Amino acid sequence: RKEVEQDPGPFNVPEGATVAFNCTYSNSASQSFFWYRQDCRKEPKLLMSVYSSGNEDGRFTAQLNRASQYISLLIRDSKLSDSATYLCVVIDNYGQNFVFGPGTRLSVLP
Amino acid sequence: ETGVTQTPRHLVMGMTNKKSLKCEQHLGHNAMYWYKQSAKKPLELMFVYNFKEQTENNSVPSRFSPECPNSSHLFLHLHTLQPEDSALYLCASSQYKTGDYGYTFGSGTRLTVV
């Protein structure tokens, strides 16, 4: 089993839609979790951290379920500019091991 | 200058050439990384340096040789590469073991081996 798995995608959604991405991780000792965004031919950029209590940043909501080893990202009222690949990142061993998921590609269509 | 800077942005090299990729971070981080991203593939960790010491080498071929002279600079020396080594090479930095584990990536070097 891969350490971090994500929805295979791609997701093609109309503007204004709500879309959710899922990510599962295999190491129950994982400590920190992030969502990164990567635009085509660009470097990944931190989108948001994921906290146990869940956190929201504007149209973006991240949730963590430690018992199920599952992370989610919800995007509301999607914009054309949200089109990108979304990478789930799991960090364990006190920051020594960053593991990136394969990414889920989102295309928001006009 | 801010963030993580990589040079060159683009590089085309023959299989017999020797070249180096450079990465510099201005964030005061103590860990630096090299990643490879091939077309339509996930990020692959190549090397990790914590406090200038290499702590991870993910079975990378010896034609890739990293160098970390100080905590702000990281190099990737390339020699006798193969066409399948063509990819986006990304440098990242982070603050290791102090609670802020987010990565900051450089813009990458797009390498083409001909």
Tell me the nearest-neighbour CA distance from B47 into chain A, angstroms.
Answer: 11
Q: Chain B contact for A100, CB < 8 A? A: yes
Query: What six digits make up the tokens of B114?
Result: 């001909």
Mean pLDDT of B1-14: 90
Asked if residues B73 and B23 have their Cβ atoms less than 8 Å apart, the reply is yes
pLDDT reported for residue A41 = 83
pLDDT reported for residue A1 = 59
Q: For B42, which of A32, A98, A101 is closest by C-beta distance? A: A101
CB contact under 8 A, A96 and B45: no
Tens-digit pLDDT profile for residues A7-26: 988 999 999 999 999 999 99
| DSSP character string of B28-97 | --SEEEEEEE-TTS--EEEEEEETTEEEEE-S--TTEEEEEEETTEEEEEEES--GGG-EEEEEEEE-TT
pLDDT at A99 > cutoff 60:
yes
Residue with tokens 């971090």: A4
Cα angle value B62/A3/A82 (rounded, 5°): 95
pLDDT reported for residue B20 = 97
CB contact under 8 A, B42 and A41: no
Query: What six digits make up the tokens of A37?
Result: 């965004």
Name the residue type at position A80. Answer: L
pLDDT at B81 > cutoff 70:
yes
Mean pLDDT of B12-32: 92
Kindly report the average pLDDT of chain A as a whole number. 91
Tens-digit pLDDT profile for residues A23-43: 999 988 888 899 999 998 889
CB contact under 8 A, A100 and B43: yes
| DSSP character string of A23-74 | EEES-TT--EEEEEEE-TTS-EEEEEEE-TT-EEETTEEEEEETTTTEEEEE
CB contact under 8 A, A49 and B90: no
